[in-house]
Amino acid sequence: MTVQDIPLNDGTTIPQLGFGVFQIDPAETQAAVEKALEVGYRHLDTAKIYRNEGGVGAALAASGLDRDDVFVTTKLWNSNQGYDSTLAAFDASMDRLGLEVLDLYLIHWPTPEKDLFVDTWKAFEKLKADGRVRSIGVSNFRVQDLQRLLDEGLTVPSVNQIELHPALTQDALRAFHAEHDIATEAWSPLAQGAVLDEQAVLDAADAHDATPGQVVLAWHLAQGNIVFPKSVTPERIESNFGATDVSLSDDEIAAISSINRDERVGPDPSTLN
Ligand code: NDP
C-alpha cells in the first residue's frame, strides 16, 4: 500500500489518501484517529466546526509520530471570516490541535452573502508569510469565487476542497483547477455511502476482488483527486486504506464516471451563508 504524495503549487506535497473526521463524535475522535494512524494514514482532515480538533491533536500526541510525518488540515468556520477574526480563530484551532505549524488551512465556505472571503484570504496570506501554515487553500469555492481571488491578484489557492464523487463529478471545476494549478480535494468521496451499490462499482469490485468503497476511492485516486474518507468502523478504516492497491481500467473509470447525475449529498455553496 503506497500513498502518493501530490505536489502543490507552492512547492509542498500532500498525501493523496487521508482520513476525514466530519461527524465523528468529539469523544470518539481520538480512538478513530489513533486507529487510522496505526493503519498507516498520514493525512488528517478536520475543521473547527467539527468540534473534534482536540481529539485529532490528542491522537497525534499519543501516536509518538514525528510532527513532520503527518499532514494536518483544519478549516476556518464561516462566523470567523474577516481579517482579524481569522487570525484569532487560527490561534484557537492551533491551541486545540496542540500544534505549532499547520500543514494546510482552508476557508471552509465562500458564504457569498457575507462577502468577506477576500479579507479572510489576506489573513491566510499573512499566516503563510509568518510561517504558521505551510499551505493555504479554500473549500467549496465555485469558479466565480476562485476567479475573484485571481482578479484581485492574490495568492492562487493550493487546493479547493469540494464535494466530488461518482454522482457529482464536477467536471467544470476540475478543469478550472487544472488550468490554474489548484489541486482538487474531494469531500464525501463515497457520497456518504450513496454510490456504493451502483452497478458499475459492484462490477469493478467483483473484477478486482475489492470492496465497493475501495473501488470508488481508487476511481478518485486514478484521476488525481485527494481524498480522506471518514469512518468510525475499524474494518472500514483499514479496508479504505487498501484502495491504493486497486488499479482500475480506463473502461471501469469511464463507467463509474457515467454514474454522474450532478447530485449533492451536502449543501450548495451558492446558498450556504
Ligand atoms: P464519506 O463519503 O467519507 O462517507 C462516510 C460515510 O460512509 C460514513 O457513514 C461511513 O460509515 C461510511 N463508510 C466509510 N467507509 C465505508 C465503506 N468502505 N463501506 C461502506 N460505508 C463506508 O463522507 P464524509 O461526508 O464524511 O466526507 C469525508 C470527509 O470529507 C469528512 O470527514 C471531512 O473531512 C470532509 N468533508 C468536508 C466538507 C467541506 O465542506 N469541506 C463537507 C463534508 C465532508 P461509518 O463511519 O459508520 O463506518
CATH number of the domain to which 115 belongs: 3.20.20.100
Residue with C-alpha cell 478486482? 208
**pLDDT above 90: residue 273:** no
Which residues, in sequence order, are bridge partners of residue 75?
106
Catalytic, out of 41, 50, 83, 105: 50
Cα-Cα-Cα-Cα torsion 168, 173, 177, 180, nearest 10 degrees, comes to 170
Q: Which residue has its alpha carbon closest to ligand 1 atom 38?
A: 187
Per-residue pLDDT band for 126 (boundaries 50, 70, 90) equals very high
Q: Whose CA is nearest to atom 4 of ligand 1?
A: 192
Gap from CA of 8 to ligand 1 centroid (Å): 24
Are the beta carbons of 34 and 59 closer than 8 angstroms? yes
pTM, two decimals, is 0.98
The predicted structure's pLDDT at residue 42: 98
Q: What angle do CA 150, 154, 157 make, to 5 degrees?
A: 75
Q: Which long-range contacts (CB under 8 A, 24 or more apart) does 172-175 make?
A: 172/143, 173/142, 173/143, 174/223
Average pLDDT over residues 235-264: 98
Q: Is 50 a catalytic residue?
A: yes
Query: Residue 85 domain-assigned?
Result: yes
228 CA → ligand 1 middle, Å: 8
Domain that residue 50 falls in: 5-257
The total of structural domains in the chain comes to: 1
Asked, for residue 270, whether it belongs to a domain, the answer is no
Q: Output the CA torsion sign for 114, 115, 117, 120.
A: negative
CA of 19 to the centre of ligand 1 (A): 9
Domain presence at residue 44: yes
What residues flank ligand 1, with Cβ below 6 Å?
20-23, 45, 108, 139-140, 161, 187-193, 196, 211, 213, 228-233, 236, 239-240, 266
Summarize the confidence of residues 137-162 as an average pLDDT.
Answer: 98
Residue 271 falls within a domain, yes or no?
A: no
* 34 lies in some domain: yes
pLDDT of residue 53: 98
Tell me if 273 is assigned to some domain: no
Positive or negative: CA dihedral 252, 253, 256, 259 = negative
Average pLDDT of the chain, as a whole number = 97
Q: How far is CA 76 from CA 94, 149, 216, 262, in A?
A: 11, 17, 28, 27
Q: Nearest to residue 65, comparing CAs of 73, 57, 53, 54?
A: 57
State which of 51, 76, 188, 216 you would mutate to test the pocket of ligand 1, scoring each by most atoms of that ligand within 8 A of its C-beta.
188
Q: Which residues pair with 17 in a beta bridge?
A: 227
